[in-house]
């Protein structure tokens, strides 16, 4: 299933990138689409690097220009999405750190109900 999906990504890539390079409308969706394919790309690459199948690695060499790492920077909203991701990461780290240092202590009576 993953190989077919990745192949379809390669086939559709020219249309996707030519649109995502110049139009902000839908850019977030294009970015997420390519980002999803990045995970799939690495999964398939890892799968075939372990296997004994010699034919498929050539497929990846031929499609190197469509590697998500090469495609993502071409999308017009790439830098905005990276900033958003960094901001989200910082916020999550801040929240996690705040909860870690929280000094809330449970009340001894909070576990007992008055009957």
pTM listed for this prediction = 0.63
Is residue 20 assigned to a domain? Answer: yes
Is residue 109 assigned to a domain? Answer: no
Is residue 61 assigned to a domain? Answer: yes
Is residue 90 assigned to a domain? Answer: no
Is residue 64 assigned to a domain? Answer: yes
Using one digit for the tens of pLDDT, what is the confidence trace for 41-95? 888 777 776 555 555 556 666 677 788 888 899 888 888 888 887 777 776 777 7
Total number of domains constituting the chain: 1
Distances (CA, A) of 100 to 79, 90, 103: 31, 15, 9
Is residue 9 assigned to a domain? Answer: yes
Q: How many CB atoms lie within 10 A of CB 71?
A: 23
Enclosing domain of residue 39: 2-77
């Amino acid at each position: 299933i993953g190989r077919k999906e990745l192949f379809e990504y390669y086939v559709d890539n020219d249309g996707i990138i030519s649109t995502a390079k110049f139009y902000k409308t839908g850019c977030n969706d294009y970015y997420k689409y390519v980002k999803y394919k990045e995970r799939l790309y690495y999964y398939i690459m890892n799968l075939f690097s372990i296997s004994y199948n010699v034919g498929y690695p050539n497929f990846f060499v031929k499609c190197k220009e469509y590697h998500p790492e090469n495609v993502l920077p071409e999308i017009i909203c790439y830098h905005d999405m990276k900033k958003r991701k960094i901001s989200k990461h910082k916020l999550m780290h801040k929240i996690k750190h705040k909860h870690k240092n929280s000094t809330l202590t449970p009340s001894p009576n909070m576990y007992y109900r008055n009957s």
